[in-house]
Chain A
Amino acid sequence: MSSQVSAQSAIKTGARRSRRLGDLWVALAFLLPSAVGFVVFYLWPTIRGFYLSLTDYSLLGDAQFLGFDNFQRLFNDPLFWNSLRVTLLYVVINIGLQTVVALALAVLLHRLTQSVTIRGLVLLPYLVANVVVALVWFWMLDYQLGIVNQLIDWIGLGRIPFFGSETWAIPTIAMINVWRHMGYTALLIFAGLQMIPKYVYEASALDGASEWRTFWRVTLPLLRPIMALVLVLSVIGSFQIFDTIAVTTAGGPVDSTRVIYFYIFELAFERFDFGYAAAISVVLFLILGGVAMAQLKMLRAGDSDLS
């Protein structure tokens, strides 16, 4: 490390000032466009959002400063706590199911076939926009006309009110998003599987281990860092579930799908309560901050595992 630094500074003219500032001027030039984007479209709106969370702002009039009233209100708002609970439920089901299915799919693809076409087919749902995916499933899962309930009926089971029942709504929405993302996630894991050297499998096979045993004893442990990465990448996205709900249940039945993102949207754009919506966004911001921190930690852990 130190030899690199000395080598580089040797190339430079060697002036003291330049050594202290390093490549500052070049770096500034390289950073300029993205820094503009960052300041204008991330930093400034965030600061403004924080400010608005302390106000009563109807979007149309001027913002009235309130202090911490919105946060006090939030603490006593059962709908807020409900939205938090529902969101967590969604994240757990979505991520849990998605990881298991994608892992299974990846292993199957890896062990059974080299066909790029099959891998391509698996990726298809990911190419379709969220809104479209939600619409298609809404149609397929309809209580009376949907093909899925027709099938359930043929089998002889009772029809399921997927979007109409408080117990089914969140699992249904989680399942829809699993469908969209499982192929993509599977391919990420697949890439991880390909990084596992072939001789590991050959050795395991020569030892007479079954595929099942090989999977639990060899594949999974070696896959751990990749799985950690895949998990944390999807968790943040999972917290922001919105499109599917906006198109299908719109928060119902009885608040059972009123996730935090949808609640914020509703407060801001339908009830003109932007100040309060911003206060809830601040809470979401803090939660996602925690998740992102965990993510960075796990990535670092992953780094050391691989080396």
Chain B
Amino acid sequence: MSVLTRTQRPELSQDRAASPRPPINWGRVVAWTSLVVLLIVTLFPFYWMLRTSLSNNRSLASEAGSLLPADFTLGAFQRVLGMASTEEALAEGGSGANVNFWLYLRNSIIVATVVTVGQLFFCAMAAYAFARLRWPGRNKVFFLFLTALMVPPIFTTLPNFILIRDLGLLNTFAGIVLPTLFMTPFAVFFLRQFFLGLSREIEEAAMIDGAGHLRIFFRLTIPMASAPIATLAILTYINAWNDYMWPLLVGQEENVRVLTVALGVFRSQTPQGSPDWAGLMAATLIAALPIMILFAVLGRRVINSIGFSGIK
């Protein structure tokens, strides 16, 4: 709260500086209007998802202009969650397909969590080696790592796919997480930049006390870098959660299928020629819900952590 009061002060003083009580500050009105318009643009698609998902797919075409659900029904959610028979689904313009929500939710959580934890930990270790240790060829190796930033993912996707196949890891969690588990060039780069910015004095003091690098890394560097690591963790988690192409290639089967892939499958299962928009939007909302809930829970921390606290 102290942050709030402190940061509000400049605005107050500025208002006072302009004039004691201006009748209408037109600049402010325009500014607020623009902000509200931008907010509406941001939020309206979410309302439209909800509105469509609560409509009867068969009636969407005739009530295209209505801002309320067309022929209100929960049918879309029911068929997405498999609570409607194939016949019922077809009658409302859907298909017999459904989303095995809890299973795919579990899978998405497993994949996103393992990738986030693994990637951050291993990248932090690498970043420490690049930022704090001195060894011959360090800059050359770092540069090599950085070149990976330029490799278009589609370039590596197919060879990686063949590799995962040859390792017999298709349709396993290992196959889905392995390529991003150990490193991404961005994470290494990001963390190295931050570690470089940390003060060396505490570390050197610890070293004089006889602490090894392992101890310094765990006891000093990681705690001091917890803020940017949290930022990176959230970004990594969102990206892992939303990843589509790779899990689509290697994780088709039910037991490892993640939510985005399930949504893609559901989309492709809707009747040819006339998509089940209501069902699709219901599935979309359901797929996006977990990350929104996570977001709502972490709320303030997430928003405040996004920024340049990590990068100089």
- Are A and B in contact, CB atoms below 8 Å, in the complex? yes
A contacts, CB < 8 Å to B: 4-5, 7-8, 11, 20-24, 26-27, 30-31, 33-38, 40-46, 48-49, 52, 59, 101, 104-105, 108-109, 111-114, 116, 118-133, 135-137, 139-140, 144-147, 150, 154, 179, 182-184, 187-188, 190-192, 194-195, 198, 201-202, 205-206, 210-212, 226, 229, 236, 239-240, 242-243, 261, 264-265, 268, 274, 278, 281-282, 284-285, 288-289, 291-292, 296, 303, 306
Are B182's CB and A4's CB within 8 A? no
A interface footprint on B33-47 (CB within 8 Å = 1, 0 otherwise): 011001101110110
Residue in B4, B10, B135, B188 with the greatest tally of chain A CB atoms within 10 Å: B135
Partner among A133, A145, A179 whose Cβ is within 8 Å of the Cβ of B60: A145
Partner among B154, B260, B308 whose Cβ is within 8 Å of the Cβ of A129: B260
Closest to A30 in B: B129
Are A8's CB and B213's CB within 8 A? no
Once bound together, how far apart are the Cα atoms of A187 and B307, in whole Å?
Answer: 7
How many Å from the CB of A4 to the closest CB on chain B?
Answer: 7
Once bound together, how far apart are the Cα atoms of A191 and B312, in whole Å?
Answer: 12
Are A37's CB and B45's CB within 8 A? no
Residues of A within 8 A of B147 (CB): 289, 292
Residue in B11, B152, B180, B263 with the greatest tally of chain A CB atoms within 10 Å: B152
Are A4's CB and B135's CB within 8 A? no
Once bound together, how far apart are the Cα atoms of A306 and B135, in whole Å?
Answer: 29
Once bound together, how far apart are the Cα atoms of A212 and B18, in whole Å?
Answer: 14
Interchain residue pairs A-B with the least CB separation, the first 3 = A37-B182, A191-B307, A45-B159
Partner among B60, B126, B163, B312 whose Cβ is within 8 Å of the Cβ of A303: B312
Determine the main DSSP class of A at the interface with B: helix
Partner among A108, A119, A198 whose Cβ is within 8 Å of the Cβ of B10: A198
How many Å from the CB of B107 to the closest CB on chain A?
Answer: 15
Residues of A within 8 A of B309 (CB): 191
Are A49's CB and B178's CB within 8 A? no
Are B39's CB and A34's CB within 8 A? no
List B residues 1-45 near A (Cβ within 8 Å): 4, 7-11, 13-14, 17-18, 27-28, 31-32, 34-35, 38-39, 41-43, 45
Determine the main DSSP class of B at the interface with A: helix
Q: Would A131 and B244 be within 8 Å (CB), given that A36-B182, A121-B39, A202-B10 are in contact?
A: yes
Closest to B27 in A: A211
Residues of A within 8 A of B292 (CB): 124, 127
Partner among A22, A44, A242, A261 whose Cβ is within 8 Å of the Cβ of B159: A44
Residues of A within 8 A of B208 (CB): 11
Q: How large is the interface on B (under 10, 10 to 19, 20 to 34, 35 or more residues)?
A: 35 or more
User: Does B125 lie at the interface of the complex (its beta carbon under 8 Å from any beta carbon of A)?
Assistant: yes
Q: Would A195 and B14 be within 8 Å (CB), given that A118-B39, A124-B46 are in contact?
A: no
Residues of A within 8 A of B204 (CB): 4, 7-8
Interchain residue pairs with CB less than 8 A apart (8) = A31-B125, A34-B182, A104-B38, A112-B31, A127-B295, A130-B244, A144-B64, A303-B312
Q: Would A38 and B148 be within 8 Å (CB), given that A136-B281, A147-B48 are in contact?
A: yes
Q: Would A137 and B160 be within 8 Å (CB), given that A38-B182, A129-B260, A188-B307 are in contact?
A: no
Once bound together, how far apart are the Cα atoms of A73 and B9, in whole Å?
Answer: 65
Closest to A207 in B: B17
Are A139's CB and B156's CB within 8 A? no
Kindly list 16 other residue pairs between chains A and B, CB separation below 8 angstroms, not including A124-B43, A191-B309. A5-B134, A30-B129, A38-B148, A49-B156, A105-B35, A108-B34, A112-B35, A124-B42, A127-B288, A129-B242, A129-B260, A132-B263, A136-B49, A195-B308, A264-B154, A289-B150
Q: Would A26 and B238 be within 8 Å (CB), given that A34-B183, A289-B150 are in contact?
A: no
B contacts, CB < 8 Å to A: 4, 7-11, 13-14, 17-18, 27-28, 31-32, 34-35, 38-39, 41-43, 45-46, 48-49, 52, 60-61, 64-65, 122-123, 125-126, 128-129, 133-136, 138, 141, 144-156, 158-160, 163, 178-183, 185, 188, 200, 204, 207-208, 213, 217, 238, 241-242, 244-245, 260, 263-264, 267, 277, 280-281, 284, 287-288, 291-292, 295, 299-300, 302-304, 306-309, 311-312
Closest to B121 in A: A33
Closest to B38 in A: A105
Once bound together, how far apart are the Cα atoms of A237 and B230, in whole Å?
Answer: 22
Residues of B within 8 A of A109 (CB): 35
Once bound together, how far apart are the Cα atoms of A118 and B4, in whole Å?
Answer: 14
Residues of A within 8 A of B141 (CB): 31
Residue in A48, A201, A212, A278 with the greatest tally of chain B CB atoms within 10 Å: A48
Are B27's CB and A120's CB within 8 A? no
Residues of A within 8 A of B304 (CB): 116
How many Å from the CB of B2 to the closest CB on chain A?
Answer: 12
Residues of B within 8 A of A306 (CB): 312
Are A296's CB and B14's CB within 8 A? no
Q: Would A38 and B307 be within 8 Å (CB), given that A46-B151, A108-B31 are in contact?
A: no
How many Å from the CB of A205 to the closest CB on chain B?
Answer: 4
Residues of A within 8 A of B4 (CB): 114
Are A33's CB and B122's CB within 8 A? yes
Residues of A within 8 A of B156 (CB): 41-42, 45-46, 49
Residues of A within 8 A of B11 (CB): 111
Residues of A within 8 A of B281 (CB): 136, 139
Partner among A120, A229, A284 whose Cβ is within 8 Å of the Cβ of B311: A229
Partner among A24, A210, A285 whose Cβ is within 8 Å of the Cβ of B151: A285
Partner among A122, A140, A194 whose Cβ is within 8 Å of the Cβ of B42: A122
Residues of A within 8 A of B260 (CB): 129, 131-132
Are B158's CB and A34's CB within 8 A? no
